[in-house]
Amino acid sequence: MRFLITTTLLTSALLLGCDAKAPEKAPTPEAAAATIPDSTFMAERPAEVENLLDAKKNSKVGDSVVFLARVGGRVKPFMTNQAIFVVADPSLKSCEIMADDDHCSVPWDYCCEDSNMLRSGMATICIKDEDGRPIKVNAEGAGGLEAAKFVVIEGVVNDRNDEGLFIVDASSIWVGGKPTYAEPMKGSM
């Protein structure tokens, strides 16, 4: 009898528990207040910078780097909920500078570029907080950041390998404009 009562109570509790919704977690004050500091973005473009491919070729983990690139290399270049995004070397051809027509709805993914060239010509950019962790906010829109725009990244190489991996912890970012078919370097100065 005791077994029957115990089993009935446990089954009732489980069934009632399945219909109840879990309470939603309130965002922590740190997460709710997470933003990329305005001081991360430079108003003026540094005068002398190399392209991303040159920076990759000549640097190792721990080196300070300054390079020109464009936001893109993936359909969604910005990571959700973390200040991390990907950039591509300006020598790579995105669809909007390959032709004068709008033949591609996502030109910043470099879908027409050779995949080996794309892998070697990309970098991952991370904007970190004071504790050395990626800021918990999407970087898209911050300081004018958006897909296909030119950027100059100043930072420190966090990781790299010979297969194309190149991660830079950004300390400063200059955001330029977007290129066009007629002016493929428009927005880079």
| C-alpha closest to that of 185 among 67, 54, 92, 48 | 92
Report the pLDDT averaged over residues 165-177.
97
Contact by Cβ (8 Å): 69, 121: no
Query: What integer pLDDT is reported at residue 20 of this predicted model?
Result: 37
Contact by Cβ (8 Å): 117, 92: yes
pTM: 0.80
How confident is the prediction for the chain on average, in pLDDT? 83
Model pLDDT for residues 103-143, shown as the tens digit of each residue: 678 888 888 888 889 999 999 999 999 999 999 999 999 99
Report the pLDDT averaged over residues 29-39.
70
Q: Taking the alpha carbons of 113, 119, 122, 127 in that order, is the dihedral positive or negative? A: positive
Query: What integer pLDDT is reported at residue 102 of this predicted model?
Result: 67
Query: What integer pLDDT is reported at residue 72 of this predicted model?
Result: 95
Query: What integer pLDDT is reported at residue 34 of this predicted model?
Result: 74
Query: What integer pLDDT is reported at residue 170 of this predicted model?
Result: 98
Backbone angles phi, psi at 58, to 5 degrees: -105, 10
